[in-house]
Every structure is written in structure tokens, then in C-alpha cells.
């Protein structure tokens, strides 16, 4: 454990309930400078919700969030841009912070989309847009990066390059990263800490620790059988509608 | 120089157009046309209040419009009615109450047409001061909240996550909407204020590729509409509001040709 001053954001037993239904419950985790924390778990397991709790987007939450930085970069899982807004990539880059041209160019080059700088945001493909989103988040040199499936829709070679870039950014900027990913290979190689979610924290620890965990082994077995993206989550319990946990 | 009513009207109109240009872009981007309409309708109530209490018209319209905005926010929280129904409810009921109150104020002679559609003859030197000082304040405030307001217009969660406080920007913008209605009511009239906000901005959308250029074209469009509209109103002896809005409409129609061209280029 590193000292407390390295902590960027800390979730203490946080949860979110909407209309008496728990989206996620009892999550404790912390992101430190220079470390990558990855959230894994099936669809609807509360990964994005947890990320938004960490970002302070939800106001009425259970538990508490301690945030020690204001320099935050965020790549949301989904974002819809309205065409009533004329918005070029260049305009989008300076959305939350004013940056000089050099910084913008550098970030766009890093994610390989510098040639799209003057294009309308609405004309980009899914993968191109994802690269722009990542470029925008890293360009402001944040202390905390929250990346919600940052490489979705990116081609295979690009995906590997972007994950390498994310690792590099974490080292160079010494920023903490909260990553949500479906790519277990990345999780196992580049992450410092893994949190496995399914409405609550199923298991967490270093990738090695998690790999030894029975619940993770269930995932890993599925991955070995060539199913990378669609893995099943095996439990000793089931989840009921109210977000309660029932032992099998 | 301000002795001539037409010069006064022109100076007032230019002041209004400088402010409605940027504000109108946000009205379009944030889909607030009907919200603007509702605030404008409630302005009549503000005017009657000003007459009964012998109060400044712009100030009283500003207060009533802000109040209506607050009531709207409360109703949205407390009822299950959809937003457009609440807007319609507030717009028409405040207009109706305003007209009823006017009926009671038999001791004052009202120029209702002037209130509804604007009256260039009514613009005084005091009005000019209100428009230019109020307008400058609105623009300064808008510049101050531009970043969080624009960022949250594009994506609320991004703005919130990266610490821009979009809720505060939204609240301030609501107040700015009430303020622009208060200062432009004499020029355009309360039924047509939203037109002054959205038509030049809609024209600008057809011509622009970036938010900055849209704001710029919107201001230019508004200025042209005011100038053309006021000269036409003098020439044909028509109300100033409808003349300005008609000029804006003509500019919008012209801007459609530009879209047709760019769509052709794309194909």
C-alpha cells in the first residue's frame, strides 16, 4: 500500500439505488497516482455506474467518495452528439479546458486522428470518434483518467496500440486510471488492481490474486475457450430483481 | 441624435440583436424554444404589474419571468406531467391572467398591440439605456458561463465529471433568458421575442461549421433583420416586431440555398 497522499479518489462502501433498485452496492476502491485500476464484470454489473459515482456525477449515493483531484479526464461509455450543434473535432478538444494548438495536435497524433482535426464530429466513424474521445481526455494532462470502455469500436491493431498508449500515459503523466474493459488480456497484463463487479464487489486484488480466485477462474476458463468478449459470470449466488443476493 | 424616434429604434434594435444572437444559439442547441415562449407570455403579467405598482417595466417583466421559470422547475419536480404540457399551462395561463388584469385596469390606456407585437414609437432614451446596459451585462455573464454551459450542452456528464458545475451554469442561463425577454419586449413584442431568438440562430446553423461561426452568423442575421425590418416598418407603416421577424424569415429562407449546395457537394 502506498501512502495516503497518492490517493486520487477513494470510494467508501458506495452504492446507488434508483426507485428501490440497487444498481450497484457496497463498492470500496481507490485509485492512486500512476496506478491502473480495472473494473470487470458482465453487462449491467454496475461498472459504468461505479465509474460515475467515482466522478461525482451522481449526487444521491450511499457511502462516500473522497476526491483529491480536480484534474479529471473522462471517456464515457456512450455519448450522443446532437447534430443541431455544429461541432468540429477541434472544438470538441477544447470543450472543458482551453488548450493551445500544439497540445491538441499532440494528443490527436498520439491516438492517430490528427488528420480529422477539422472534420465535423458527426461525420466520424465509431472507432474514429472513440480515438477523439480518448485524445480529448488525455490532452488536458489529467491526474485522474476514467476510461469507460475506451477502445470500443476500434479496429484490432488500433486496440492494442491504444491500450499501450493508456499504459504509457499512466507512466508518463503519473496519473491514476480507472479503466473499464472487456478485454481480459489487457486486464491481466497492464493493470495494477482488478475489481470484479456484479452489482457488488465479487473479488478484487492484483491481477495474480484475482486470477487465483475461483470466480475469476470461471471467467478465465471461458476466455480460454476462445470466447473473449462474451464471457459468463459464475457465482455461488444469484441476483434477484431488487439487487439482493441469494445463495444458491 | 437620439431625438429622432427612428434612430432610437435602430439603436435599440441593434442592442437587442447583439444579445439575442448568442443567446438564440443556446436556445436552439438546448431545445428551449418553448421555454422562451413561456417566459415571454408571462411577460404580459409583468407589464401589468409595472403599471399597477408604477414600477419599471423591464425590471418587473424580468422578475415575473424569473418567477415563472422557478415555478416551472418546481412543477417539473413535483408532478408527472410532461415538460411541454407544463410549458403550455404556464404560458397560456400567465398570458390569460395578464389580459384579465388589464381588463380591470380601466384607468390606464393600454396599447395591447404594442405589447404583443412591439412598437418602435415607444422606445425612449431610458429604454436605450436599459437595453444597452442590460445587454452588456447579459453578454458578460454569458461569456463567464460559456464554457460550462456549452460543455454541458454537448454532454452533461462530461461537464459534470470534469468539474465544470453545469447545474449552476444552467440556472444562470435561465435568468439570462428572463433578462433578454425583459429588455427586448418593447422592440419585438412578447409574442415574437422567441422568433428573434431562434430564427437568426436557425439561419446561422445553415451557414456554420463551428459553434463560434454559428454565434457570429446569428448576430449578423439578427442585426440585418432589425435594420431591414425597421426600415420596412417605417416604409409600410407596419408594427416593428412582425417586420423584424419577417425580415429574419427571409434571411432564413436565403440560407436554405446554402444547405442545398453543401448537401449536393456531399453526394
Predicted local confidence at residue B14, as pLDDT? 94
B36 and B181 Cβ atoms separated by less than 8 Å: yes
Write down the pTM of the prediction: 0.85
Q: Which residue of B has its CA nearest to A87?
A: B210
Whether residue B76 lies within 8 A of chain A, CB to CB, comes out as no
Alpha-carbon gap: B39 to the closest alpha carbon of chain A (Å): 23
A53 burial via Cβ count (<10 Å: 0-12, 13-18, 19+): buried
Q: pLDDT per residue over B52-95, tens digit each?
A: 888 888 889 999 999 999 998 889 888 888 888 999 999 999 99
**CB < 8 Å to B163, chain A:** 70, 72
Decide if B162 and A81 are in contact by the 8 Å CB cutoff.
Answer: no
Distance CA B207, CA B201 (A): 10
- Structure ipTM: 0.82
Rounded distance between C-alpha atoms, residue B104 and residue B93, angstroms: 17
Contact A77, A149 (CB under 8 A): yes
β-strand partners of A194 = A38, A205
The C-alpha of B183 sits at a distance from chain A's nearest C-alpha, in angstroms, of 27
Rounded-to-integer distance, Cα B39 and Cα B24, Å: 14
- On the question of pLDDT at A236 being above 70, the answer is no
- Nearest chain A Cα to B151, which residue? A95
Interface test with B, best of A68, A85, A180 (most B CBs within 10 A): A85
Task: Determine whether the interchain pair B211/A96 forms a contact, defined as Cβ–Cβ distance below 8 Å.
Answer: no
Task: Judge whether B214 is closer than 8 Å to chain A, CB to CB.
Answer: yes
Query: Which of B154, B205, B211 is closest, CB to CB, to A81?
Result: B154
B215, closest residue in chain A (CA to CA): A86
Q: Do A74 and B163 touch (CB under 8 A)?
A: no
- CB-CB under 8 Å, B154 with A74: no
| Residue-range domain boundaries for chain A | 4-71+143-149+174-247
Q: What is the pLDDT of residue B265?
A: 59
Going along chain B from its start, the domains and CATH numbers come out as 5-193 (1.10.3470.10)
Separation in Å, CA of B124 to nearest CA in chain A: 38
What pLDDT was estimated at residue A222? 52
Per-residue pLDDT of A150-175, as tens digits, reads 888 888 888 888 888 888 888 888 89
Give A226's pLDDT tier (boundaries 50, 70, 90). very low
A chain contacts of residue B77, beta-carbon cutoff 8 Å: none
pLDDT digits (tens, 9 = 90+) for A28-41: 999 999 899 999 88
Q: Residues B42, B16: contact at Cβ < 8 Å?
A: no
CATH topology of domain A4-71+143-149+174-247: Rossmann fold (3.40.50)
Return phi, psi of residue A146, to 5°: -115, 115
CA atoms within 13 A on the CB side of A55: 31
% residues pLDDT > 70 (chain B): 95
Which chain B residues contact residue A54 at CB under 8 A? none
Instruction: Tell me what pLDDT residue B219 has.
Output: 97
Amino acid at each position: 500500500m502506498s501512502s495516503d497522499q497518492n490517493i486520487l479518489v477513494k470510494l467508501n462502501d458506495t452504492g446507488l439505488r434508483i426507485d428501490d433498485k440497487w444498481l450497484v452496492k457496497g463498492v470500496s476502491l481507490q485509485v492512486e497516482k500512476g496506478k491502473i485500476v480495472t473494473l470487470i464484470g458482465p453487462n449491467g454489473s454496475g461498472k459504468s455506474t461505479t465509474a460515475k459515482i467515482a466522478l461525482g456525477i451522481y449526487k444521491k449515493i450511499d457511502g462516500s467518495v473522497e476526491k483529491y483531484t480536480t484534474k479529471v479526464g473522462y471517456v464515457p461509455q456512450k455519448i450522443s452528439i446532437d447534430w443541431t450543434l455544429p461541432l468540429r473535432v477541434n472544438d470538441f478538444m477544447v470543450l472543458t479546458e482551453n488548450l493551445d494548438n500544439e497540445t491538441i495536435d499532440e494528443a490527436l497524433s498520439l491516438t492517430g486522428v490528427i488528420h480529422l482535426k477539422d472534420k465535423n464530429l458527426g461525420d466520424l466513424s465509431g472507432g474514429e470518434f472513440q480515438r477523439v474521445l480518448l485524445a480529448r481526455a488525455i490532452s488536458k494532462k489529467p491526474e485522474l483518467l476514467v476510461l469507460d470502455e475506451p477502445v470500443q469500436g476500434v479496429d484490432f491493431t488500433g486496440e492494442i496500440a491504444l491500450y499501450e498508449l493508456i499504459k504509457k500515459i499512466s507512466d508518463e503523466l503519473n496519473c491514476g486510471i480507472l479503466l473499464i474493459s472487456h478485454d481480459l488480456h489487457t486486464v491481466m497484463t497492464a493493470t495494477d488492481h482488478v475489481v470484479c463487479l456484479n452489482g457488488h464487489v465479487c473479488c478484487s486484488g492484483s491481477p495474480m490474486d484475482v486470477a487465483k480466485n475461483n470466480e475469476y477462474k470461471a471467467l478465465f476458463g471461458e476466455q480460454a475457450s476462445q470466447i473473449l468478449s462474451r464471457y459468463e459470470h459464475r457465482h455461488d449466488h444469484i441476483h434477484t430483481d431488487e439487487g439482493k443476493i441469494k445463495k444458491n | 441624435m437620439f431625438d429622432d424616434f427612428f434612430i432610437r429604434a435602430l439603436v435599440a434594435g441593434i442592442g437587442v440583436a447583439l444579445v439575442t444572437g448568442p443567446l438564440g444559439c443556446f436556445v436552439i442547441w438546448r431545445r428551449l424554444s418553448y421555454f422562451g415562449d413561456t417566459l415571454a407570455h408571462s411577460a404580459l403579467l409583468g407589464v401589468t404589474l409595472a403599471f399597477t405598482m408604477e414600477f419599471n417595466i423591464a425590471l418587473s417583466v424580468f422578475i415575473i419571468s424569473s418567477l415563472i421559470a422557478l415555478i416551472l422547475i418546481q412543477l417539473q419536480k413535483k408532478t408527472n406531467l410532461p415538460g411541454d404540457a407544463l410549458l403550455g399551462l404556464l404560458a397560456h395561463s400567465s398570458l390569460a391572467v395578464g389580459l384579465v388584469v388589464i381588463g380591470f385596469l380601466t384607468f390606464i390606456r393600454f396599447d395591447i398591440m404594442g405589447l404583443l407585437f412591439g412598437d418602435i414609437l415607444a422606445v425612449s432614451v431610458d429604454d436605450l439605456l436599459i437595453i444597452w446596459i442590460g445587454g452588456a451585462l447579459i453578454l458578460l455573464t454569458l461569456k463567464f458561463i460559456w464554457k460550462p454551459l456549452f460543455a454541458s450542452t454537448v454532454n452533461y456528464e462530461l461537464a459534470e465529471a470534469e468539474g465544470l458545475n453545469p447545474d449552476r451554469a444552467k440556472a444562470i442561463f435561465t435568468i439570462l433568458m428572463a433578462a433578454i425577454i425583459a429588455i427586448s419586449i418593447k422592440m419585438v413584442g412578447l409574442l415574437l421575442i422567441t422568433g428573434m431568438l431562434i430564427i437568426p440562430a436557425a439561419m446561422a446553423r445553415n451557414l456554420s461549421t463551428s459553434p463560434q461561426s454559428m454565434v457570429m452568423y446569428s448576430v449578423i442575421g439578427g442585426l440585418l433583420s432589425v435594420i431591414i425590418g425597421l426600415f420596412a416598418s417605417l416604409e409600410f407603416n407596419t408594427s416593428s416586431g412582425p417586420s423584424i421577424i419577417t425580415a429574419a424569415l427571409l434571411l432564413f429562407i436565403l440560407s436554405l440555398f446554402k444547405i442545398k449546395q453543401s448537401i449536393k457537394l456531399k453526394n
